[in-house]
Amino acid sequence: MPICTQRDLPAKEILEKENIFVMDETRAMHQDIRPISIAILNLMPLKEDTELQLLRSLSNTPLQVDITFLAVESHEAKNTSISHLNKFYQVFGDVKNRRFDGLIITGAPVELMEFEEVDYWDELCDIMDWSKTNVTSTMHLCWGAQAGLYYHYGIKKHILDHKVFGIFEHHVRNRRVPLVRGFDDLFMAPHSRNTENLTSDIRAVEDLTILAESDEVGVFLAIADEGRRIFVMGHPEYDRITLDKEYKRDMEKGIDIALPKNYYPNDDSDKRPNLQWRAHGNALYSNWLNYYVYQQTPYDFIDTAGIVGK
């Protein structure tokens, strides 16, 4: 089944060229099925790149996935045109009376700031509070995961001595949980961050279960409240050249940045990076949609508090 987006979203044409089935809203209206409704709160600066990466990741199931892109009102985007935002994005006020099967909160380039210093922090808190009753399952990515852990559990982030940057090996820690179904014992995943949550802080919260972690860069995946909240510390949605673009952009700016680890063949930045994480990234998003979104939400969406018996 397809990803359902607006007819003229730029990512739609790229996905179709990659042989990914993308359906526009007009055709979707004639489908006699219950689509899965997913909101994506896109906090990344290069929003069109993130749109494409996440739509690719969500396309690998037999489910029809209906996408709503959200932007925050309390921050002015500097790297995405106003016309693109006005055409393809809604804000929280537009959707706060709706319910969604799933919500993705992306990362953001504000990790060195205290949460309360971020200009849209109060708005993000309102959205995370709303998600408790209006969303079946929320996936938090990278800084979005740190923000979610801080908001829901008071877990603080800590600045690292050096940036975690590259592709790192992770171990599955709890194979019985469906979110990691189909994962190998060891798998690779991208990271790009200057901060971390301490493993000990996460383990100290009874409601949180660590599903995958790295000996080198710590927790990668944690789950809470029977899948109502999922925290992903890396970027499994990244495409082959995302880290390459980030590395070369920072080099051109004169920023002191190390070569991304385990990324370029023979650590030669002139060579095409190896794609080592796509299968597990796709499995993660597919498992989330299937086991924590689709199978948890009835055909006629009701209050999620009722679904979980609260």
CB 55 within 8 A of CB 15: yes
Question: Which residue is listed with tokens 């009722």?
Answer: 306
Active site residue 158: no
If you ran DSSP here, which 8-state letter would residue 289 be given? I
If you ran DSSP here, which 8-state letter would residue 261 be given? B
Residue 155 DSSP SS3: coil
Backbone angles phi, psi at 271, to 5 degrees: -95, 155
Question: Which residue is listed with tokens 């998600």?
Answer: 131
C-alpha to C-alpha distance for 12 and 258, rounded to whole angstroms? 34
C-alpha to C-alpha distance for 289 and 92, rounded to whole angstroms? 22
Active-site choice (51, 142, 191, 196): 142
C-alpha to C-alpha distance for 20 and 240, rounded to whole angstroms? 17
Backbone angles phi, psi at 56, to 5 degrees: -60, -45
Active site residue 235: yes
Active-site choice (152, 170, 191, 235): 235
The count of C-alpha atoms lying within 13 angstroms of the C-alpha of 147, restricted to the half-sphere facing its C-beta, is: 33
The rounded Cα 248 to chain-centroid distance in angstroms is 23
Active site residue 216: no
Token readout for 301 is 């969406």
C-alpha to C-alpha distance for 89 and 19, rounded to whole angstroms? 25
Active-site choice (51, 111, 213, 237): 237
C-alpha to C-alpha distance for 213 and 167, rounded to whole angstroms? 13
CB 30 within 8 A of CB 209: no
Residues taking part in catalysis? 142, 235, 237
